[in-house]
Amino acid sequence: MTSFGERLAATVADRGPLCAGIDPHATLLHEWGLADDVAGLERFALTAVEGLAPHVGVVKPQSAFYERFGSRGVAVLERVIAESRAAGALVLLDVKRGDIGSTSQAYAEAYLDPSSPLAVDAVTASPFLGFGSLTPMFDTAAKHGAGVFVLGLTSNKEGPEVQSARVGTGETVAQRIFDGLRRLNADARAAGALGSFGAVIGATIGDAEEDIDFGGPILAPGLGEQGGTPADIRRIFGSLTVLPSSSRGLLRHGPDVAALRDAARRTNDELRG
């Protein structure tokens, strides 16, 4: 079984680092001339898949924008996952789940077990019930060759009150999270491979004091509409494996499929530098 880290490294080398968010905001549905209902959601999401998934390495649907329509919205999400993977993209589902015990295990089975209709290549997860609370997700991901991206240094203004707080030994909470990821990725790193356990670090965070070289990939939201630039990506992350993520900046080019494709290719070229 090929690990998620190995598959991701190969995909980035082949298709570039851009991670395309497929987030059906009500405002974007309106801009595309679509109704804010399940039919509009389906038209929007599948058009975005058609325009983006064949041309990027990773697509990232935000689960909440599908869940707000109930079971029919989740059914659309299942199609987005299946059709994106059929187009050759890896699917990173942005769910930011985080819980303990059997509930954490249930989340892991919902998103990382191949037998689930919502199974994806990787998920985002919240560690703020304690890094160890995510162990069921890490174990399930390792079992099935999937990945987990843990919130580390996010770009929202509220993040630092938790992430930059210091624990008793002096390091920040974010550093403690990165140290945990370093342990999880140790075997892959020793073998010269990319680990399967990554972090979410905003493209607009500026200069971080933390050591973010933990042997796994970095999801960097904030490219484009939120102010992050390819130059920021290179400055902050250097040679680390990073997936700069853009959603609205790409999706505003819809509903024209060719325009979506061209925006993705152009952004990937800029990121390759």
Residue 272: alpha-carbon gap to chain centroid: 19
The residues that bridge with 245 in the sheet, in sequence order, are 19, 221
Write the CB contacts of 261 (distance below 8 Å, at least 6 apart in sequence): 51, 52, 54, 55
Q: How far apart are CA 92 and CA 20, in angstroms?
A: 10
DSSP-derived secondary structure for 144-190: HT-EEEEEEE-SSTTTHHHHT-B-TTS-BHHHHHHHHHHHHTHHHHH
The set of catalytic residues is: 96
DSSP-derived secondary structure for 17-80: S-EEEE---HHHHHHTT--SSHHHHHHHHHHHHHHHTTTSSEEEEBTHHHHTTTHHHHHHHHHH
Q: How far apart are CA 95 and CA 76, in angstroms?
A: 15
Q: From 253, 169, 121, select the one nearest 267 (Cα to Cα).
A: 253
Q: How far apart are the first and last CA of the chain?
A: 33
Quote the DSSP letter at residue 223. Answer: B
The residues that bridge with 199 in the sheet, in sequence order, are 150, 218
Residue 117 · residue 85 · CB < 8 Å: no
